[in-house]
Amino acid sequence: MKAYNEDDYLNLAGIQHFSFCQRQWALIHIEKLWKENLKTVEGELLHKNAHDGQAFEKRGDTLVSRGMPVFSATLGINGICDIVEFHRNANGIQLFGREGKYVPCPVEYKRGKPKESNMDTLQLTAQAMCLEEMLCCEVEEGYLYYGEIRHRERVLFTGALREEVRKDFDLMHQYYERQYTPKVKFTKACKSCSLKDLCIPNLDKCKSVKEYITRKIEEDN
Ligand code: SF4
């Protein structure tokens, strides 16, 4: 099985950007462009709250780990899990310094509400795949908590989701190696994209840069 060198690891959370728009991922992770909008700032605050507090906390039969670093050499990724709950279960794994056995269950915090696309699910699946590789166990389910509706949704890590995660990271590694940024493709996602001012997606609709500038001047007059 292929194993990536640690120096070549990509950011786990990047799969969300890649799933939203491959160009957006490349602009952020290859060209290192980042622009904050209200959504990204609110999202950051929510994650900060999830990471704050004790690193490990016991709640009945559940251990709660906040801000747990994870990685996968086979996917070539690393990142941080907002929360990993360890549920006491006879079929689980032994944890150092703890009695009994536990099954890990990642929980990711999101600012908004459930999305039409599966980008959040893919990120959570990637976290589960990291936990499986690190802890030599099976992680069958996790949860996405949405701040806007104050509700968490159960996610089952199916074979299809795992395959999509593998394919996406494989492609991201290929793009990264080639330092390749996909061309602009205007979609409805562009309206809510935090990089639209830097990416200029409307350029796609024009035949040339000259035409784009002419049209902008006309719009501004
Ligand atoms: S503006 Fe559109 S094409 Fe450009 S990065 Fe954002 S989503 Fe992708």
Q: Which residues pair with 151 in a beta bridge?
A: 146
Question: 196 in ligand 1 pocket by Cβ < 6 Å?
Answer: yes
Q: Which atom of ligand 1 is nearest to the CA of 20?
A: 7
Global confidence as pTM: 0.85
> For the chain, which domains are there?
6-182 (3.90.320.10), 184-221 (no CATH)
Counting as low any pLDDT under 70, the low residues of the chain are 35-54, 202-221
Question: 23 in ligand 1 pocket by Cβ < 6 Å?
Answer: yes
Question: 28 in ligand 1 pocket by Cβ < 6 Å?
Answer: no
Protein residue whose Cα sits closest to atom 2 of ligand 1:
190
Cβ atoms within 10 Å of 106's Cβ, excluding its own: 27
Give the model confidence (pLDDT) of 54-84 as tens digits. Answer: 578 999 999 999 999 999 999 999 999 999 9
Q: Give the pLDDT confidence score for residue 127 in this predicted structure.
A: 98
Q: Give the pLDDT confidence score for residue 112 in this predicted structure.
A: 92
Write out the DSSP string of 29-64: HTS------HHHHHHHHHHHHHH-S-SEEEETTEEE
For helices 159-178 and 22-29, angle between their N-to-C axes, nearest 10 degrees:
50
Give the model confidence (pLDDT) of 119-147 as tens digits. Answer: 999 999 999 999 999 999 999 999 999 99
Answer positive or negative: Cα dihedral of 17, 19, 24, 30: positive
Q: Give the pLDDT confidence score for residue 56 in this predicted structure.
A: 81
Q: Give the pLDDT confidence score for residue 48 in this predicted structure.
A: 63
Q: Give the pLDDT confidence score for residue 87 in this predicted structure.
A: 97
- Ligand 1 centre to CA of 197 (Å) is 9
